[in-house]
Amino acid sequence: MLDSDLSFSDHIQSKINKAYSMIGIINRNFKWLSISSFVLLYKCMVRSHLEYCNSVWAPYRKMDIEDLEKVQRRATKILPALKKLPYEERLKKCGLTTLKFRRLRGDMIEAYKIITAKYDNTIAPKLMLSHNKNTRGNNYKLETFRTRYDLRKYFFTNRVIGAWNSLPNHVIMACSVNNFKSRLDQFWKEQDMCLDYKADLTGAGDRCIKV
């Protein structure tokens, strides 16, 4: 759902409301849950609403990012044993990461599929490979562009550039999607953003050029 400002805020709010209703269902019907049972229910009934097609509507406004993260914060308080722990500790206990990190991870997976032609290239978004071989980066380094407006800056084909260009060759040269996921997770396992949604991805700075 797009509003008159081409914003997905209304769509995001509708997904948040649906996710909260799912949390209510879990809370009312499952009084005694192990961590593993909770995680299974959460991923299936709650997080799926917050992540479906989020490469299209991924938020960049701080308010929307925080509102989405609040859903997971609330969900992880369902378990009495974890309720009083800080959010980061609850994520560790449940083996979860922040939603912000998962959106970035999902963007990298989509970029990998596009660049390696896993999608039909006649309909997939266009990602322009850089022809400048004098700069550091991987073999599939993307060209960067200046943008005047946030709407364009945070569109998928622009927002993935910095993070993608920061990946080393041994990650982006993976032989399959699953292999790429495994290498990416290993490379990013120490990122602060895994447990702190207010953190930025380290090592993803990239200078833009004006075209």
- Distance separating alpha carbons of residues 28 and 35, to the nearest angstrom: 17
**pLDDT at residue 144, rounded to an integer:** 85
Q: Which backbone phi and psi does 142 adopt, to 5 degrees? A: -95, 145
Low-confidence ranges of the chain (pLDDT < 70): 133-136, 205-211
Please give the pLDDT value at position 123: 87
pLDDT of residue 133: 65
Contact between 69 and 197 under an 8 Å Cβ cutoff? The reply is: yes
Name the residue ranges covered by the structural domains of the chain. 9-95, 102-194
